[in-house]
Structure formats: structure tokens, C-alpha cells
Structure 1
């Protein structure tokens, strides 16, 4: 074979081949996730059977047999009750939601002035959207407008004065109150939680003791108790003649409660930072605040994003408890409208509660998915 030009080394790289058909596509996903073991097969069959039994009934009640338009309860009631449904109650009474939608959004806010909360909603969305997009420039200016300028302008627009009709906060309600309380609570609880977490880890005994007492006391009592104390007991500690608006009391109570939980979430992230990070910052000659702001906090907050968002979601849902101080958020205003005799029917309450639950789910699911997005965006620690 000497002198032969036969070569056993390939000169060209083989083109990448697609994965086998059995390892890709919907069939492969079903095999891998639903039918991998006999136990998975049994659970999948049970789940499919349950869905096949429940879903058609839910779809039929929620959409097919539902009443979408109407002016009163007769459109959802039986003929025996003076309604138009001959064979029993209708499905979901979405006509009730449609008729009361303005109240669900604005509460009892003055009808001719509802353009003001609408404008606040638009400004909030316009400033929040670029804040949530990592690639958008001028984050500092965006944050200044969102957390400083917007609240000041919103107070003027929503409450009035300086040329606008004053709308007292007892007239506020619905989604407006839910968003106001939750937004302020989120904006206040995160920085206060960070301060409390740093204080709890402080080497100064007095600062550490104050932070520990605050966190443990607030975490040891229910939010209803905090709101009750903010509403009933707070005025007792104020000078005579002073009064604090109920909405302000609710915001203070929610913010205090969320700050204590946020402090423990942040403290967990601080404890997860390796000691070498502190030593490396010290070796660079950084002071305490430089080290904390530039080295420690960015890493700690990244580690506890799920816990932070979980606290935000819990706080958003807990805004429904402000009804204890006679403030009607979305759920409260929905329940309040159950007493309207024009819409009293067997299906009205369930329809209203489903609507309120769906609105809460939309906001909470959005926060959850954004949390997942940010985790992936910031997860650079293990990339090679």
C-alpha cells in the first residue's frame, strides 16, 4: 500500500444532523413528561379524565350559557323569579360585571372626574413599561419619574385641589385603591426592607436590637391587626385635632407589614454571599456603604428575586383586607354590589368573585412571569 493516496482522515466536517424523530416534537415531549413511568401514565390518565369531566361544564357555564348583556337581574333569573331563563338559572351573569365595570375600576369616584384616575393609569403604564425592559436607556431618569414625579402628580390628580375638584378618598375604590395601595406598598417596602436587613446584621447593638424587635413584632401579628391598629389606634397617638386619612392609614399598615417580611428575604440573600466577597471588597479599600452598594447588595438581591416577587404578590392580594377600615378595593367593591337588588340572583355573586379572582390572577401571574424573565436575564454566575 506504499505510495497509495488513500486517506483515513476526513477532510470535511460533517453537517449537523437533526435529532431523531422520536426525540423531538410533541410526541417526544408527551413521552418524556407524561408517560415516562407507569406511575406517570396512571396520573396522566386520571388528570385527563378529571379535565374531560370538569372543563366542558366550566366552559358551558362560563361562556356558552352565560348572559353577556342585560340591564338587570331578570336577564339572569328564571321565569319563576320574574326573569327570562325558562329552564333554570343562566350561566355566568357577565351582564352584571358589564353594568358595574366602572364601579369595579373607580369605586364611587365622581363620575365627571374619572378622566383623572384614567390619566394616572396611562402615565403609570407609560413609565412602568420602559422601567421593566432591561435594554431601555436612562433608567435613572425613568426611576425618578416613576417613583418621585408620578406619585406627586397622582396625588394632585386623584385628590384634587389647585384648580381641580376635590374628591375625598372615601369615594375612591375598586381597582384604583388596589393599585394605589399595592404600588406604594411595593415602592416603600423594598428600600425599608433592605435598610432593616442591613440593620439586623449591623454590629451596632442598638441599631440591631431595634431592627430585630421591629421585624419580629410585625411578623408575629396578622395584617388585619396591623390595619386595625393603623386605623383605630394611630389617631390616639396623634396630637388632639390631628387626623390621618383612612387611605394613608391603610398604606402605612401595608407598608410596615411588607417591610418586615421583605427584610427577612433580603437578609437571606445577604447571608448567602460568600465571605470572600466581603474580604475582596475590603482588600480594595472600599468603605462600608461602597462595599454594600457596589458589591454585596447587587448579588444578594439577584439571589432572592423569587422571594422578593413572592412578597410583592402576597402584598398585592392582601390589599383586599383594607375593607377592615371601610376602604373598598376591587374585591370589596364587587362584594358591595352583591347587595344591589336590581342584580340579586343566584349566579351574580359567583360571577363577581370569578371576575375579581381573574383580575388578581392577571396581575400576580404577570409579576411571576417577569420574575422568571429577570432571573434568566441576570443569571450569569454559572455561564462559561
Structure 2
């Protein structure tokens, strides 16, 4: 049995990789790009930095900086209109996962029209929108190397998963220098997101030999460096390792899949506006403990790749150490409970069955090594609350 592997056509990796952006645009025959980003990237000076690099090469780029965290169908409308009414031949997506996900949707809708719900999974969106050059500024989502985007439908408060080659950036610039000023909270949330991508890709029922290698390599980079980057954001080797680990984890789950953590995480973000990486972190220890009996050897491999268990450890011991590590990591990185985040239990209980329905509808839980029943998922959600 063969597996289809999907990657960006071009990647530039390393410190100051951004300086190669004009060369990349020329190779892709993009002459009039639109930078899609957010207000923080403008405030931090990253947009000006990119425009200066382009201007020195004779390329002028307009800016759309109105993307928002956890993008919605209405938040991308202005960007879609900008592309539809402009004469742009490419998009530079600059920022964390939210601007890149927004750019992916804008590139498709701006060219083909309709609404994002028309493109939701299980539809495979293989049409080519405007070419996207993705420049991530966080080490977490891996969106620069995936064929997915997630946009919330505001009317239903449902995160819509959209899948297909049309959402894969044609190029990615992996410049860890852009992450040196990322705050500790964001470093933690995005770092655990990347770890979750790698673990879920490795244990997924859709895994393959290629995705396995990317996932294990990602875990080998993330395990020894996440806490270092969290405690000291100026630790350059740690930032470099986390940035590459994030991209490899993105490649891994793009060519395998995510699983139960992500399936359960999306409704938490949609209903309670918990950042995606943070809701993953809240769920990861409990879901891992639930799933281990169905794939003990796989989870033990993850523990060893992370460096929290040794090759001399038995499978059972490695898995015990993995669960202990994930719980301790959340404590060290100050991951709040839902209650500490500000979610009211009454509101949670009103929505928890709907959250289960949306989680199953995404398809991700069915990729898990242990597929929960509705009752088991409800118990997982409620145990997450009870942990408060």
C-alpha cells in the first residue's frame, strides 16, 4: 500500500531565512503579493521588516492586517473582498496559526467565491487558489506545512475543518529569529500544540512510515527544548529546535492526521474562546491516558523520543512516565484548568453534549487508536472539568 505525501513546493529554513523571500517570489513568478497578517505583527515591526526586504528587491506589497485569533467566517470577509477586488497574484501569510489559516481561506474564497461552509470536510478542496508563501512567527501550529485550515462558523459556534491541496502553501519560510520575542504563555501553548501534533500523527490510525519519521524527529526536538524556550525566550538553540520541531510535526500530521485531542479541543475553542494550543494542553494528559491501552508500544515510542523514558524502560514504565510528564508539564507551564480560564460550569454542562457531537462530526476522534463512545467522551470532557 502506498501513501500520498504532500509538502510545500519550496522551503527556506534557518535564521534570516526571510531575506530569501524575494528569491522565492521570483521563482514562483509572484510579482504583486498581498501580505495577510494581524495587528500584532504590524505593532512588532515584522510587517515593516518584510516590506523592507521586498522593497529592496523592487517588490511592493500591500497589507491586510485585520485577521483575528481563532478566525471566523465573518472575520475573513474583508480579506476575501480585498483579494476579489484587487489584482494580487500571491499571498504572503505572516504570523501565527490564525493569520496563516485566515490566509488559506482568503486565497480560496477570494478566487472561487462562496462561503467557507461550502469547503468544509469531507469535501476535498484541491482547486488552486492564490499561491501562499507562509511565514510562521510561532513554533506551534505547523500550518505553514499543512493542507488544512480551521475557520469558526459564528452562527453555530462550530469550528469548520477544511481539507485539501488548495490549502497547502506553495512555499514556507521557517525563520526561528521571528520567534525570539514570543511571550512565555504563547510559547507554552504553541509548543504543546506542536507536541500534540507529533504524538497524534504517530499514534493515528492513518499513520504511515513517512509520517512516523517526521513525528519522532519532531518529538526529539520539542522534548528537550520546550521548557527551555518557555523559561528563557532568548535561548536561541531552544527556539531553533522548537521552530523546526513545529514544522516537522506539521508535516507529520498533514500526512497522517490528528486525533482525539484535536477533535475534542476545537469545540472548547469555539464555545469558550480558549486558544487552540491551550485547549489541546488541557486535554492532552487525560486523552493520552485514555488512549494508551489501544497503542501502548506507540505511546512508549513517543515517551522515548521526547526523552522522558529510556530504551531500558519497559513499555508500561515508559507510558507511566509519559503521563506523569504531561501532567507535570502542564503544571510547570502554568496551563490553567477550564475553571481557572474563566469558564462557568453551568454553561459548560449546557454545551457538553453539543461539543461531543461537533467533535465526532470533525472526523478526528475516529483516527484515534482508541475511539471513544459518546459516554466516554462525555466522561473525558467532565473529568477535564473535575480536574479543576
* TM superposition score normalised by structure 1: 0.23
Higher strand content, 1 or 2: 2
Higher helix content, 1 or 2: 1
Greater relative CO, 1 or 2 (CA 8 Å, sep 6+)? 1
User: Quick check: which has more Rg, 1 or 2?
Assistant: 1
* TM superposition score normalised by structure 2: 0.23
